[in-house]
Structure 1
Amino acid sequence: MRIVTVYSKPSCGQCNMTKIELRKKGVQFEEINALSPGNEELAEAIRERANEKGIIGSFPYVTVYDEYNELIADWFGFIPDSINNHAAVSDAEDAA
């Protein structure tokens, strides 16, 4: 089973679109407000990851981990192709 987390921020259109699309595809996910008080270290880690990928800070940040807690996918922003790719793999895993 894959674990999907959506790191979002308030009033974020791309965050809302990502969550809507994940729900439409039947993908379960956890949402974490990266800008909530107490999440300063998390927000900094997300900024560092964006820098590693050459991306100017954009939300949401989506992570996908496998059953062994290995990061298998991550992306920034509303990326329908990434959502579709994950949903297709999840469907195949569920059918197996």
Structure 2
Amino acid sequence: MEKNLPFALLKPCPCCRGKAELSDMVVSETQMWQVHCNRCGLSSELDDDLEFSVQCWNRRLESERLRMWLTLSATSVPLAAALAFLAGSYLGLSLFS
């Protein structure tokens, strides 16, 4: 990836879907890069590799989506069990005689 990175390669913020921006700064004579959101202020860690900073930011969105689906899946199993229990109780069905 070139150092003149087009902003189109940055995915939107995983929290608020705001526009992500790339910042560079010099820390101890080393150029460091960080991606941050204009709207909510979420930011990546400082890193001396531009490509790695962008990849970490873009993977964060994928991780958030995966976490959301895992959470929804994990909550649907107990919810289905509770609904089955309530439906069985309403219909007069019992697991125990």
Calculate the TM-score normalised by the size of structure 2. 0.35
With CA pairs under 8 Å and 6+ residues apart, which has the higher RCO, 1 or 2?
1
Higher strand share goes to which structure? Answer: 1
